[in-house]
């Protein structure tokens, strides 16, 4: 084996989801690297990122990287890491809801050592801000934007499957090529269309519009925004203030969760919602309605 192999390094660095959330490890990685790529395309509203990294690096080693730099031309970055320390910096955590594991796989295959430096994840902070039980989150989905030209049948099914396991669903919201996040109400309207199509194929009534919905935007200094609607149908019709959101479709909430969620949302009373819908979904789960992929 080449003597340098195993020493050369690709660093996948998490820069946190907001300024001020950088770990000492992340700062040290950026100082140590010969070249620093900064990608903003996986995180909406991350215009601050490039400047923050450039200020920390303090010289001209910082380069902006587009999606095609990291996905289509990834071999150029991997080749560079054969004789230099290359850092790829991401807002939030680089391994949460990104495609950077494929860059890591390509580097490992080329004999380049990969180091993962975790960052403060916006997705995890969003879940935390709702105060719902960490153990009750099931598979995560992304609500696609209309620009993808797809109707999200599999997202609807995943929400039902999570409900069958009595688990909450975290739905991330798509980001377009300009780094703009999908409007939550538009995403939910498309989801409900996906539910109509999916449910008719599964031979069951479409029920997602009756489930409650929580929108959450994790902020800084404990200033998180938690908003809830008694139904996804209502959220589809609502206008939502700008922000970077994730959506949570809760399974049946425990009394403690109902109370904590109300506190997190700054509301006087717990979320009102249609409790019967959980019963109907539960009966469908027992009949195996959601088992067949469509
Ligand atoms: C493609 S994912 C990348 C996540 C990132 N790697 C991380 O660790 O947070 C981007 C999505 O995560 C969610 N997200 C990121 N930051 C958030 C925040 N501060 N509050 C709520 N949701 C957030 C949003 O749904 C956003 O569209």
Q: What's residue 8's pLDDT?
A: 67
CATH 3.30.950.10: which residues of the chain? 123-287
Nearest ligand 1 atom to the CA of 175 is 27
- Least confident piece of the model among 91-95, 187-191, 265-269: 265-269
Nearest ligand 1 atom to the CA of 120 is 8
Nearest ligand 1 atom to the CA of 94 is 6
Q: What's residue 177's pLDDT?
A: 82
Mean pLDDT of the chain: 94
Q: What percentage of the chain reaches a pLDDT higher than 90? A: 89
Residue to probe by mutation, ligand 1, list 14, 43, 187, most atoms within 8 Å of CB:
43
Mean pLDDT of 148-177: 97
Residue to probe by mutation, ligand 1, list 92, 98, 155, 249, most atoms within 8 Å of CB:
92
Mean pLDDT of 255-261: 94
| CATH class for the region spanning 123-287 | alpha beta
CATH 3.40.1010.10: which residues of the chain? 9-120
Is 3.90.1150.10 the CATH number for 9-120? Answer: no
- Cα–Cα distance for residue pair 90/77, rounded to 1 Å: 15
Q: How confident is the model at residue 59 (pLDDT cuts 50, 70, 90)?
A: confident
Q: Which residues form ligand 1's pocket by a CB distance below 6 Å?
A: 17, 42-44, 90, 92-93, 96-98, 121-123, 125-126, 172-173, 175, 181, 216-218, 244-246
Q: What's residue 181's pLDDT?
A: 96
Q: What's residue 3's pLDDT?
A: 41
Residue to probe by mutation, ligand 1, list 172, 173, 176, 240, most atoms within 8 Å of CB:
172
Global ipTM:
0.99
């Amino acid at each position: 084996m080449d003597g340098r192999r195993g020493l050369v390094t690709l660093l996948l660095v998490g820069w946190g989801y907001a300024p001020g959330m950088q770990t000492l490890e992340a700062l040290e990685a950026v100082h140590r690297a010969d070249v620093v790529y900064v990608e903003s395309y996986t995180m909406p509203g991350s215009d601050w990122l490039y400047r923050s990294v450039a200020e920390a690096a303090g010289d001209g080693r910082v380069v902006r990287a587009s999606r095609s730099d990291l996905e289509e031309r990834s071999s150029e970055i991997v080749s560079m890491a054969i004789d230099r320390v290359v850092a790829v910096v991401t807002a939030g955590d680089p391994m949460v809801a990104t495609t950077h594991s494929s860059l890591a796989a390509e580097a490992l295959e080329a004999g380049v050592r990969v180091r993962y430096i975790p960052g403060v994840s916006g997705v995890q902070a969003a879940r935390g801000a709702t105060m719902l039980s960490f153990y009750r989150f099931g598979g995560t989905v992304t609500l696609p934007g209309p620009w993808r030209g797809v109707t999200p049948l599999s997202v609807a099914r995943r929400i039902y499957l999570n409900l069958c396991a009595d688990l909450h669903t975290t739905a991330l919201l798509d980001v377009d090529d300009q780094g703009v996040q999908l409007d939550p109400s538009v995403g939910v309207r498309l989801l409900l269309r996906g539910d109509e199509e999916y449910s008719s194929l599964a031979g069951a009534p479409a029920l997602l519009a009756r489930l409650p919905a929580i929108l959450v935007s994790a902020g800084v200094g404990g200033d998180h925004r938690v908003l809830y609607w008694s139904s996804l149908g209502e959220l589809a019709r609502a206008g939502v203030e700008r922000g970077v959101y994730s959506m949570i479709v809760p399974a049946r909430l425990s009394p403690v969760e109902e109370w904590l969620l109300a506190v997190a949302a700054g509301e006087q009373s717990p979320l009102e919602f249609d409790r019967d819908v959980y019963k109907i979904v539960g009966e469908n789960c027992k009949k195996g309605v959601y088992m067949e992929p469509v």
